[in-house]
C-alpha cells in the first residue's frame, strides 16, 4: 500500500478516536452537571423543608405568647391586631436569599360545619341546622364558574345528606336507610356517624363532588371537632361574615351587607366586636349589630389555628400545613400535619 494511503487511514483512525474521546468527555461532563443539579436541588429541598418546619415552630411560639398575653389582661379576644395576625402573610427574608412566609388563621375565621350540625334530645336536627346548611351550600354553589344549566345540585338535598352522614341515626332525613346509597359504591361504604375530621371528607358524603367541596372550602372548617366553633367576627373575612345567621324577629336570615360593613368599619377603626359579657374599651357588643342570638354562637377567642409555612430556597419551595391546638399552653397539640 502506498505511503500516502497508509497516512490517510491513520489520520481517519486518529480523528475517529479523537471524536470518540470528545464525545465521552462531553457525556461525562453532562452527567456530572446533572448529578450536581440533583444534589443541589436535593439539598435545597431539605433546607426548604427544614425552614418550613421551623416556621410551624415559630407560629406555635407566637400563638402561645398571644395566649399568655390574653391570660394577663381583661380583653380576651383574637383579632387582626394580634402579633400572630400581623406576622401572617408577611414574607421573612434571610441573608442567603431564602424566604419564609407564614399564614396563620384562627379557625373562627370560617364556619365550623361540626358546630352547625346540632341535634335535640330526640336526635333530630335543629331546624336552624337544616336552614343554615341549605343556604350555605346554595351560596357556595352559585359561585362555581359553570353555566347554571350545568350545576346539577340540590342544596336542600345535600344539606340533608350531610346531616345523615354525621348523625348517629341509621335512617335518612327523607326516609329510608342511610346505608343504601353508600353500599352501592365500589368498594361499599357507610356514613361516618360522627363529626367531620377534614373538609375533604365531604367528598365521601352522598351528592358532594370535587366542585361542590372546593366551592365550600373558602367558607368552612371542621375545627374544633366539639364544643364551640362559631364565627369570630373579629377575624372572619367578609364572605364568611355573610354567614352570620340569626332571627331578625321576622324570619331566619343571613347577615346583610349593612351588617357586614358595620363590623368591618369597627375593625378598620381599631375596635372589636364583643360578646355580651365583655365590656372592655373599644368593644362594640354584637347585640347592637345583630338582632337576637346568632347560630352557631360566635367565638371571640380560639385555641385552634391553621398554619401554612411556605419556605423558598433558590428555585425550590416547600410548604407545610398544620392545625395547632394551644389550649394546653405547656404542651400545644398538633391536630393535623401535611408536607407539600
Q: Lowest mean pLDDT: which of 51-55, 150-154, 157-161?
A: 150-154
Q: Look at residue 2 in the predicted model and tell me its pLDDT.
A: 56
Which CATH architecture describes the domain 113-219? Answer: Orthogonal Bundle (1.10)
Q: Look at residue 22 in the predicted model and tell me its pLDDT.
A: 72
Q: Where are the domains of the chain?
A: 3-108+303-339, 113-219
CB 62 within 8 A of CB 83: yes
- Which of the four pLDDT bands, split at 50, 70 and 90, describes residue 161? very high
Q: Look at residue 39 in the predicted model and tell me its pLDDT.
A: 62
- Which of the four pLDDT bands, split at 50, 70 and 90, describes residue 331? confident
Q: Look at residue 145 in the predicted model and tell me its pLDDT.
A: 87
User: 229-285, pLDDT tens digit by residue?
Assistant: 799 999 999 999 999 999 988 899 999 999 999 999 999 999 999 987 777 778 899
User: 282-327, pLDDT tens digit by residue?
Assistant: 889 999 999 899 999 999 999 999 999 999 998 899 999 999 999 9
Q: Look at residue 78 in the predicted model and tell me its pLDDT.
A: 93
Beta bridge partners of 322: 307, 337
- Which of the four pLDDT bands, split at 50, 70 and 90, describes residue 7? low
pTM of the model: 0.85
CA distances to 45, 325, 329, 330, 331 from 64, in Å: 29, 10, 6, 9, 10
Q: Is the pLDDT of residue 4 over 60?
A: no
- Go through 274-297 and write b for each residue having 16 or more CB atoms within 10 A of its CB, e for each that does not: bbeebeeeebbebeebbeeebbbe
Q: Is the pLDDT of residue 156 over 60?
A: yes
Q: Look at residue 256 in the predicted model and tell me its pLDDT.
A: 94
CB 82 within 8 A of CB 301: no
Q: Is the pLDDT of residue 134 over 90?
A: yes
For the sheet containing 245-247, what is the strand order? 252-254, 245-247, 294-295
- Provide the grid cell at 329: 399552653
Q: Which residue has the cell 464525545?
A: 23
User: 28-81, pLDDT tens digit by residue?
Assistant: 767 766 665 666 778 889 999 999 999 999 999 999 999 998 888 767 899 999
Q: At what angle do helices 155-166 and 127-142 cross, to 10 degrees?
A: 130
- Which of the four pLDDT bands, split at 50, 70 and 90, describes residue 9? confident
Does 3.30.1300.30 match the CATH number of domain 3-108+303-339?
yes
User: 171-191, pLDDT tens digit by residue?
Assistant: 898 888 988 889 888 888 999
Q: Look at residue 5 in the predicted model and tell me its pLDDT.
A: 59
Amino acid at each position: 500500500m502506498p505511503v500516502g494511503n497508509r497516512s490517510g487511514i491513520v489520520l481517519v483512525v486518529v480523528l475517529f478516536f479523537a471524536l470518540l474521546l470528545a464525545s465521552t468527555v462531553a457525556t461525562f461532563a453532562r452527567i456530572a452537571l446533572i448529578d450536581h443539579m440533583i444534589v443541589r436541588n436535593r439539598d435545597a429541598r431539605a433546607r426548604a423543608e427544614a425552614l418550613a418546619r421551623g416556621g410551624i415552630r415559630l407560629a406555635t411560639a407566637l400563638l402561645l405568647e398571644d395566649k399568655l398575653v390574653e391570660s394577663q389582661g381583661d380583653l380576651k379576644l383574637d383579632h387582626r391586631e394580634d402579633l400572630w395576625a400581623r406576622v401572617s402573610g408577611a414574607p421573612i427574608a434571610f441573608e442567603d436569599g431564602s424566604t419564609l412566609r407564614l399564614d396563620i388563621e384562627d379557625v373562627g375565621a370560617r364556619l365550623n360545619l361540626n358546630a352547625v350540625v346540632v341535634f335535640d334530645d330526640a336526635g333530630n336536627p335543629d331546624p336552624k341546622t337544616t336552614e343554615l346548611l341549605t343556604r350555605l351550600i346554595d351560596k357556595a354553589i352559585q359561585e362555581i364558574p359553570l353555566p347554571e344549566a350545568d350545576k346539577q345540585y340540590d342544596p336542600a338535598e345535600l344539606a340533608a345528606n350531610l346531616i345523615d352522614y354525621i348523625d348517629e341515626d341509621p335512617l335518612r332525613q327523607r326516609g329510608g336507610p342511610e346505608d343504601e346509597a353508600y353500599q352501592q359504591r365500589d368498594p361499599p361504604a357507610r356514613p361516618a356517624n360522627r363529626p367531620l375530621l377534614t373538609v375533604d371528607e365531604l367528598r365521601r358524603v352522598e351528592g358532594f363532588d370535587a366542585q361542590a367541596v372546593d366551592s365550600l372550602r373558602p367558607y368552612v372548617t371542621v375545627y374544633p371537632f366539639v364544643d364551640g366553633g362559631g364565627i369570630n367576627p373579629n377575624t372572619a373575612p367578609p364572605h364568611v361574615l355573610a354567614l352570620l345567621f340569626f332571627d331578625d324577629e321576622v324570619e331566619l336570615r343571613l347577615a346583610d351587607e349593612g351588617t357586614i360593613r358595620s363590623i368591618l368599619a369597627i375593625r378598620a377603626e381599631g375596635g372589636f366586636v364583643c360578646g355580651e359579657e365583655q365590656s372592655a374599651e373599644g368593644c362594640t357588643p354584637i347585640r347592637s349589630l345583630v338582632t337576637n342570638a346568632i347560630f352557631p354562637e360566635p367565638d371571640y377567642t380560639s385555641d385552634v389555628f391553621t398554619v401554612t409555612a411556605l419556605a423558598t430556597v433558590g428555585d425550590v419551595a416547600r410548604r407545610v400545613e398544620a392545625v395547632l391546638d394551644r389550649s394546653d399552653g405547656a404542651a400545644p397539640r398538633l391536630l393535623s400535619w401535611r408536607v407539600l
